[in-house]
Amino acid sequence: MAPILELIKKNAVPVNVMRSAARGALPLPADETLEVLVYMAQHPLFGEDARMTLAGWDAQSALEVLSKDTATPEVLLYYWQPENRRPVLMPTLIENPAIPENLLMELADTASRETVKMLLASARARSTPGVVEALLGNANLNPGEAQELQGGKPEPEAAPQQTEPTLEEFEVVPDPESAAALQAFEREHAAAIAAEEGKPFELVKDEEAAGEAITTDAASVGQEAGEPVETVASTGAQAGAAQGLVAQRMAPENADEFEAAEQQRLTVLQRVSKLNVGQRIKLGFIGGKEERALLIRDTARLVQNAVLSSPKLTDAEAESFAASKNLQENVFREIARQRRFLKLYPVVRNLANNPRCPLDISLTLVKTLHVYDLKSLRHNKNVPDTIRKVAAKLYTEKATRGGSKKE
């Protein structure tokens, strides 16, 4: 068990460390971070943050952890649960001997067509009699596969039919304008979409959370100073009491409504994670505000561009994206490329003040800022020094134009 997890279980760490733990922002190895997140997923205050972090965790990093024989049962079983399953992780979970055979048998009995294929490709599943028997009773197993499992010669499988991506789970109906824009986008980017079709959904990492100053991490409760765990736990008791008070103050007035809203947000993330690139592009055009806020953080650039090309995207959303510090460079370049966004002065101002915005774009946009925004920008220490200097120069020129300098 990770040392920090022991402290968390004892309620011996401050609230800000708990918050960072739920965001996966503690400076820990991936296996320890996942172990902490799985435990935090049941926390009454930070559970939703932890589950959101787990749902968006980098697939390659998760695979490396889940493939090891040292992976903890809690982490393995978390990702095994139907509500937390990610198709890209399932083959590795199926092969891991720490997953009991009875769970494999339960899976094989009711598996979807996609999961049936994973089980058939698994040497472990095919060598387990109970799993084979369960697969033979699964309606999604075709006759040729059943014959092969029973030792006969397999019949050739019919070529899979190409089907139009469906998004019925999201209950969205495209309006004519969005549908037309989607078709034009798909025609223009057909080759690129086909090339990236198999790219799994991954969220851009929240660099604001990762870069958040953790002033009291495991070291702050005494470990770096060499104090024994008993002393650390004792010192953390006061922090635990403080955490309880803060949790009490932070509790929403209507906890049921808050829980329902957070669960809905998490459900959307889990559904999106199962879509391929083409389906995510379609959802970017026809989905709602919540879907767009999620898809704009997709690491697939085509999906980001689809969101920004959607006629349903509002001015307020564009302003929010322009100010966000946890989006990829491509988003800011795409916003700056589209004239409809540059007509919105708040978008221009937000881009110029965003430290994540590429320097060449910021240098172009800063020249269009109003004098009072230049005055503020020249003191913004979050942006590059070059931007501050240009803003100061432009402010001096504009403020002194036609009279004495304005302060």
Model confidence over 231-264: pLDDT tens digits? 333 334 343 443 343 344 334 445 555 555 555 5
- Mean per-residue pLDDT for 182-200? 85
Lowest mean pLDDT among 214-218, 265-269, 335-339: 214-218
Given pLDDT bands bounded at 50, 70 and 90, which one contains residue 209? Answer: very low
pLDDT in tens, 257-292: 555 555 555 677 888 888 888 899 999 998 889 889
Q: What percent of the chain has pLDDT over 70?
A: 77
- The pLDDT assigned to 225 comes to 36
Residue 373 in tokens: 């925004």
- The pLDDT assigned to 76 comes to 93
CA atoms of 174 and 345, how far apart (whole Å):
29
CA distances from 38 to 250, 251, 270, 291 (A): 22, 22, 16, 25
- The pLDDT assigned to 345 comes to 95
Given pLDDT bands bounded at 50, 70 and 90, which one contains residue 2? Answer: low
Question: Residue 217: is its pLDDT beyond 90?
Answer: no
- The pLDDT assigned to 214 comes to 38
pLDDT in tens, 63-92: 999 998 888 999 999 999 988 888 889 999
Question: Residue 406: is its pLDDT beyond 60?
Answer: no
pTM given for the model: 0.52
Question: Residue 53: is its pLDDT beyond 50?
Answer: yes
Question: Residue 361: is its pLDDT beyond 70?
Answer: yes
Question: Residue 117: is its pLDDT beyond 70?
Answer: yes
